[in-house]
Chains A and B, each alone.
Chain A
Amino acid sequence: MKLTRRNFLAWAGLGAVGAVACEGFGIREGELNIQSPVQLPEDLVRGKDNWYASLCRTCPSCEGIVIRVMEGRAKMIQGNPFYPTNQGKIHARCESGLQSLYHPDRISSPMQRSGARSSAQFLPISWQPNGMDLLQTALQERGRSSVMITEPLRGHMSLLASRFSSAIGGEHLGFESIDNNTYRAAVKSVYGQDSMPDFDLENSQFILSFGADFLSTWVSPTRFNRGYGEFRQGEHRKRGMFYQIDSRFSMTAANADKWLPIKPGWEGHLALSLAQVIIAEGLQAPGVDVASLTGGDNLDNFRPELVVEKAGLTAEMTDGNAVEFVKNLARSFAASRPAVAIGGGSAGASSNGLFNLEAIYALNYLVGSVGEEGGVKLNPGSPWTDVPSSSKVGSLEDWIRITEQIRSGQTNLLLLHGADPVHGLPDSLHLRNAIEQADDLMIVSFSPFLDDTSAMADLILPDRVSLEDWGDDISEPGPGFQMVGFQQPVVNPLGDLDPLSFPDVLLTMAQELGKESQLPWSNFKNMLREGSDALFELNRGSIEASSAEEFWNNLLKRGGWWDENSTGSKYVQPTAGLLKSIAGKASDPDFSGIGMDTDSFYLVPFAHNTLMDGYNSHLPWLQSAPDPLSTVTWQTWVEVNDQTADRLELKEGDILRIESSKDFIKAVVYPTPAAPPDVMSVPFGQGRKHGSDYATDRSSNESSNVMDILETTQVEGTGSLAWAGTRVKVSKTGESVSISKLEGDARAVEIGLTPAEDIIKTIAPENA
């Protein structure tokens, strides 16, 4: 083709059109992109749910749970059916783990104090460089005079905290408002064991419990509820008999065949009285060496005739004859084998609490139930040589010492995690005052929530909550054999939160401070993995795997490891003269302060069913969960015998002023026929001054901390707080509020007053 001017223009035009077409009809950049958004869309729930096994950290019993996760969000918590202690059941407290995760009052980032010590004013700072640098400087300059206060720790976290404290030259103490130190000491003294025992309730025929509210709050209530269900309704067995001897009508007392309201502090005397009857009438189990056990003391000083009046057991409450009642109780207890005696709670919380519990637990030797089926199941130690199975918790004696050290400047760095001692210790200790006046004191809190102690901190470095973090636990009490639970992160923190794992921060600091020799792990997960590898090397237990990696995966899938063949001792030889030795410690309970004036009352505080000692009081589900007996929610109530209420002209909802020699609080009156006439019972848990509105947004008429009025009486022999050792006077304030409860207005009355009602009375097996 000849290139003419016309052809040139035609081809040029065609080329231009082609170029335009190529561009116009081609695929523009980005046209075929599909975008992964950064955050999950919250309004579009798709895909499949996943269930992850982990541990509940809402209370010290630390139950095995499974968490339903959809789209990276935890949706539901249920019991882990494989976990030996709770076997698929959980306490209401566990479910609130979700509220910790999504709580609107979570501390989102590190904060530094910007106002006066108690003003709770903070400014957000960054982790790097500010937060971590401030912590590092504090540890370098003040580590040797530091105290780390944590929740009761077991497993690797306990090892890490104690090694870290030791590495920086400080001290580590676990904190519990209502500690179990006296119970531990009694178990050590009577059974020679370091770990709390289990009680084989499911195979028992007779439960004799002194003060332990084991179906609601004491030690491991879910595990005990499971056993109790079998005790009452298990197949191929007859219904067991259960006596609760307690100065308060607790949920456990409400489930008993017989509740015996005893004067606070006299439980040990009654236990030895039962022992005296068993020995005198030769009712002990076959093979029990009574002569060795008593050491020649026939316990005549504890004959029922000498005890019942002091213990407040009247003819009215004991079917007409208190002495015969005690004797018959001893006979039934000894005859219904296997039988088990349990003691705890208020029975161990008076000045003679250690004596009380030792006397109670010694009863199990007489009926031959130590290490036996249906009795006391002793627990073995940790499967790891260096990891403690039992938490070390400070006693009141320790906290008095720490307070004094703060006041004198000997302690100038407090590291807090999972502990709120300002709220959880008696106000008369003046810890708050000591902190406020200590100019050189630095407090670093690792709490994800503001509480009364964190509000006084200089630096807050928020931890992850348990659903976002690694951990492990050696169950205490265990199920009678070795077991370890593992906790894994099932979700990431929400996008607007910036928490860092507390153990990881400690390990990072250890590296920065050159303490790798004591703490060689780069992060807590690696430390746990090392523990898993050590379990794999044992080559026994519930997890089968051909490699350490497979073992680790199966361990996390199952939620833990246990070895049913590695049990605690089956037989423990009691110390010669044990009963004589215990009887020698007998003393009357000390009620210093107001004393025993006739117009005063015993104050018997109790752990709140869901809030416990108050560390959970920022969780609205737990605030609104009704108390099992009174059904009260959100408020601090005082249980008053209805006849006493009539005498004092009190009605439901009145605000009562309750005063000890230390201070006073106010509480809402809840009259009930199920309260001893000389006892005022108030739950722990409320009265927080700082933090979430769910914990604080109520007047002092409705929310108060019973710790504020407790005497600082100590349990002889353990130095623990004798929290049931206070007497109080009460007076009307003239104010009244509507009590927040689910129960209707119909009064509770004793059943069995008419022949028609009599048919629903509990009938004791021997009378059936």
Chain B
Amino acid sequence: MVAGGVVTVIMGFVLVVLLISWFSNPPFGLGNAPAQPVAFPHTVHVADNNIQCEFCHRNVTKGASATVPAVETCLFCHQNIDGGSADSQVEIQKVRDAFDTDTPINWERVHRLPDHVRFIHEAHIRYFTDDDIPVKYGINGEELAETPDVALTCTICHGDVGNKVEVQPKTGQSLKMGTCLDCHRNNSVPTDCTVCHK
């Protein structure tokens, strides 16, 4: 009886850990589109005004992290651009206030990978935008008709962010290990553990 209780406790514990681990990651539940401190519409910036991804995520073609822009970068434009609606003016004022009061903005991460995974944006963008690689496959195994540019490469994993008011993971797209392995295999990229795992 005692042994059964211990097993029950252990099993329950493991079950809880697994459930939390699975469901706390997008796209299957918790945190798919967390509330952000500033309602930043990618639609206005990307789709309407054609601002390149790299203008704000300035490290995306250069290093591991895409990075989010400094508040000062927002003020390049929003020093003078007020926004077309009352709601947008409120949000822009938040950014100006952050700059004036020297307060960083803490965004909520939407796309995330476990700590033991090393993902380098630069390497992936370099691969997909390389004209010398004749055939390339997308994240779901589809063959890409032509070499994508940087913006199109971003959509392979992140979906059409430019047309989303609220950023959330690509519909139905898991960023779990199986996805990575499938894509690596399709593109004949090494799948050794140490390629991705720290």
Question: Could you tell me the distance in whole angstroms from the C-beta of B192 to the nearest C-beta in chain A?
Answer: 28
Query: Which residues of B sit under 8 angstroms from A39, Cβ to Cβ?
Result: 70-72
* B105 pairs with A40, CB closer than 8 A: no
* A71 pairs with B58, CB closer than 8 A: yes
Complex: A48 Cα to B54 Cα, angstroms: 7
Within 8 A of A (CB), among B84-107: 98-99, 102-107
Within 8 A of A (CB), among B1-21: 1, 5, 8-9, 12-13, 16-17, 20-21
Give which listed residue, B13, B20, B52, B68, contacts A26 with CB less than 8 A: B20
Query: Which residues of B sit under 8 angstroms from A25, Cβ to Cβ?
Result: 16-17, 20-21
* A32 pairs with B31, CB closer than 8 A: yes
Question: Could you tell me the distance in whole angstroms from the C-beta of B80 to the nearest C-beta in chain A?
Answer: 7
Question: Could you tell me the distance in whole angstroms from the C-beta of B176 to the nearest C-beta in chain A?
Answer: 17
Q: Does B191 touch A at the CB level, under 8 Å? A: no
Query: Which residues of A sit under 8 angstroms from B16, Cβ to Cβ?
Result: 18, 21-22, 25
Q: Does A169 touch B at the CB level, under 8 Å? A: no
* B20 pairs with A41, CB closer than 8 A: no
* B107 pairs with A36, CB closer than 8 A: yes
Q: Does B109 touch A at the CB level, under 8 Å? A: yes
Q: Known: A25-B20, A32-B112, A48-B54. Is A38-B9 also a contact (CB below 8 A)?
A: no
Give which listed residue, B62, B67, B103, B112, contacts A38 with CB less than 8 A: B103
Query: Which residues of B sit under 8 angstroms from A37, Cβ to Cβ?
Result: 70-71, 104
Complex: A525 Cα to B73 Cα, angstroms: 21
Q: Does A320 touch B at the CB level, under 8 Å? A: no
Q: Known: A32-B109, A46-B58. Is A18-B72 also a contact (CB below 8 A)?
A: no
Q: Does A115 touch B at the CB level, under 8 Å? A: no
Complex: A346 Cα to B70 Cα, angstroms: 54
Complex: A48 Cα to B12 Cα, angstroms: 52
* A38 pairs with B107, CB closer than 8 A: no
Query: Which residues of B sit under 8 angstroms from A47, Cβ to Cβ?
Result: 54-55, 58-59
Query: Which residues of B sit under 8 angstroms from A497, Cβ to Cβ?
Result: none
* A36 pairs with B69, CB closer than 8 A: yes
Q: How many residues of B contact A (CB 8 A)?
A: 43
Complex: A255 Cα to B22 Cα, angstroms: 80
* A38 pairs with B99, CB closer than 8 A: yes
Give which listed residue, B34, B59, B70, B104, contacts A40 with CB less than 8 A: B70
> Using an 8 Å CB-CB cutoff, how does the interface string of B59-86 with A read, 1 for contact, 0 for none?
1001100011111111110011000000
* B104 pairs with A36, CB closer than 8 A: yes
Query: Which residues of A sit under 8 angstroms from B109, Cβ to Cβ?
Result: 32-34
Q: Does B108 touch A at the CB level, under 8 Å? A: yes
Q: Does A14 touch B at the CB level, under 8 Å? A: yes
Question: Could you tell me the distance in whole angstroms from the C-beta of A260 to the nearest C-beta in chain B?
Answer: 54
Question: Could you tell me the distance in whole angstroms from the C-beta of A9 to the nearest C-beta in chain B?
Answer: 9
Complex: A44 Cα to B107 Cα, angstroms: 21
Q: Does A13 touch B at the CB level, under 8 Å? A: yes
* A41 pairs with B54, CB closer than 8 A: no
Query: Which residues of A sit under 8 angstroms from B99, Cβ to Cβ?
Result: 38
Complex: A22 Cα to B23 Cα, angstroms: 12
Question: Could you tell me the distance in whole angstroms from the C-beta of A342 to the nearest C-beta in chain B?
Answer: 42
Question: Could you tell me the distance in whole angstroms from the C-beta of B9 to the nearest C-beta in chain A?
Answer: 5
* A492 pairs with B107, CB closer than 8 A: no
Q: Does B24 touch A at the CB level, under 8 Å? A: yes
* A40 pairs with B24, CB closer than 8 A: no
Question: Could you tell me the distance in whole angstroms from the C-beta of B85 to the nearest C-beta in chain A?
Answer: 17
Q: Does A30 touch B at the CB level, under 8 Å? A: yes
> Using an 8 Å CB-CB cutoff, how does the interface string of A1-45 with B read, 1 for contact, 0 for none?
000001000100110011001100111001011111111110010
Complex: A25 Cα to B114 Cα, angstroms: 13
Residue of B55, B63, B72, B109 with most partner-chain A CB within 10 A:
B72
Question: Could you tell me the distance in whole angstroms from the C-beta of B73 to the nearest C-beta in chain A?
Answer: 6
**CB closest chain-A residue, reference B21:** A25
Given contact pairs A27-B24, A492-B76, a sample of 9 additional A-B residue pairs in the complex whose CB atoms are under 8 Å apart: A10-B5, A22-B20, A36-B105, A38-B99, A41-B70, A46-B58, A71-B58, A71-B73, A492-B79
- 25 example contacts (A-B, Cβ-Cβ < 8 A) are as follows A10-B5, A14-B9, A26-B24, A27-B31, A32-B31, A32-B112, A33-B106, A34-B106, A34-B107, A34-B108, A35-B68, A35-B104, A35-B105, A35-B107, A36-B98, A36-B107, A38-B71, A46-B67, A48-B55, A71-B58, A72-B73, A489-B79, A492-B75, A492-B76, A495-B72
- Residues in chain B within 8 A of chain A (CB atoms): 1, 5, 8-9, 12-13, 16-17, 20-21, 24, 31, 34, 52, 54-55, 58-59, 62-63, 67-76, 79-80, 98-99, 102-109, 112
- Residues in chain A within 8 A of chain B (CB atoms): 6, 10, 13-14, 17-18, 21-22, 25-27, 30, 32-41, 44, 46-48, 71-72, 489, 491-492, 495, 525
